[in-house]
Structure 1
């Protein structure tokens, strides 16, 4: 790998303290590095100076200091409801030199009422302009068809995972151009009414480590005064399952849940720095400033006994982390 390390001669990351972006930034997408050296993420709709932005775009050079940089849509695609802005839970993918934003949205009303669907928009640059496909690639009668995530396996096959609304997490193969689904969907992870946080599972994210596919999910109530949210994980030897829940393993359970400082952490993405270290990006409420909304946090992922561990199980970190992500300047 060419280039040099930013601001240092040896791989030592930038110290940081949560939050890494002290503004409403729910459901952070995966972080993609653009040709300009910035990392970009997309978030659920949020209010900024000019009002409610439709899938805001944030950027950072070190994954620690983030700034608002734009939005995916200036005008919502025609298939979406225009009366009330409802676009959320984006995933951000680079494919064949282009940038794809997959997102959930509420359809325009018709004779069947409102539906929820997953759309996709494409651009040549992380900041756009984005051109929407013009119709959803998946749609259903409820919140069961939301929260898309795209995983590409070692053989080049790509899959879309999605789900919520107390229904199973599903997966289906993605077409080569990334604009449609192929074949039939399959159920890969089910809710559990008797387990804490598992009455509803959503926000899937998959990584492959050491021969296992790890499926991260969040549940079961992301928002409001009664938010009860945490991150869980399951693993499988196939991207199509069956997945073993960590909560079913002796001593297992949520890998990230509330503590005295931050409440309802969840809906994560994962980014690997240039030193090979995994980091989890997620949102949470600051108990000291809940009015700010779901702000952006980050923590290191350690892998122990075949499972991910975050902050030794103590919830989101809130003291200075001496070494953050290691980034090499190109």
Structure 2
């Protein structure tokens, strides 16, 4: 009897276990990072390449919505290949707006020390186009620096954490 009740409960609640409105249905994404700008939500992600069997992520994508139901896929907006110093791997990024510019803080594998490093790309809109204004990593150490996030304080001072 206990087994029957358990099975009935599992069947009854199985519909809850499935997302009713998935944002992304066409590829595998990871590392979502939200940004709200002009009452629109932008979600920046990494994504696996179609033919990969491991973590092969070459660029960043962005999706946006005004209502959390209908989403726009803006496609790939930046690649590690846009950075001359980068070797591979587009990992967890963060985008912020400041003074009318959009700054994407992006970790990649550096050619210089063969470890993770954090770069910055600047654009005029939430979906670019973005470019590397420094021509070198913003942060690079012997530890391998990845997964930045940015906090802008009430006084306007920005802080990057990783």
After superposing on structure 2, the runs of 4+ consecutive aligned residues of structure 1 that deviate more than 6 Å are none
2:32 is aligned with 1:31: no
Deviation of 1:38 (Å) = 4.2
- What SS is found at the alignment partner of 1:44? strand
Alpha-carbon spacing, 1:140–1:64, altered in 2? closer, same or farther (3 Å): farther
Deviation of 1:142 (Å) = 3.5
User: What does 1:3-18 correspond to in 2, within 5 Å?
Assistant: 17=20
- Greater helix fraction, Structure 1 or Structure 2: 2
2:101 is aligned with 1:98: yes
User: Which has the bigger relative contact order, CA under 8 A and spacing at least 6?
Assistant: 1
Alpha-carbon spacing, 1:57–1:86, altered in 2? closer, same or farther (3 Å): same
Give the TM-score normalised by the residue count of structure 2. 0.72
Q: Which residue of 2 aligns with 1:41?
A: 43
Provide Cα deviations, 1:261-291, integer angstroms capped at 9, x if missing partner. xxxxxxxxxxxxxxxxxxxxxxxxxxxxxxx
- What SS is found at the alignment partner of 2:67? coil
Q: Which residue of 1 aligns with 2:84?
A: 78
Deviation of 1:52 (Å) = 5.7
Give the TM-score normalised by the residue count of structure 1. 0.38
| 2:118 and 2:139 in contact (8 A); partners too | yes
Deviation of 1:72 (Å) = 2.6
| 1:118 and 1:146 in contact (8 A); partners too | yes
Counterpart Cα distance in 2 of 1:95 and 1:46 = 29
Q: Which residue of 1 aligns with 2:136?
A: 135
Provide Cα deviations, 1:175-211, integer angstroms capped at 9, x if missing partner. xxxxxxxxxxxxxxxxxxxxxxxxxxxxxxxxxxxxx
Q: What is the root-mean-square deviation of aligned Cα atoms in Å?
A: 2.5
Provide Cα deviations, 1:103-153, integer angstroms capped at 9, x if missing partner. 111001x4xx4021111101011221111132111112244x111111111
Which structure 1 residue ranges, 5 or more long, are not aligned? 1-15, 163-330
Provide Cα deviations, 1:287-311, integer angstroms capped at 9, x if missing partner. xxxxxxxxxxxxxxxxxxxxxxxxx
Across the two proteins, how many residue pairs are aligned to each other?
Answer: 137
| 1:90 and 1:147 in contact (8 A); partners too | yes
Deviation of 1:21 (Å) = 2.4
| 1:53 and 1:71 in contact (8 A); partners too | no
Q: Which residue of 2 aligns with 1:148?
A: 148
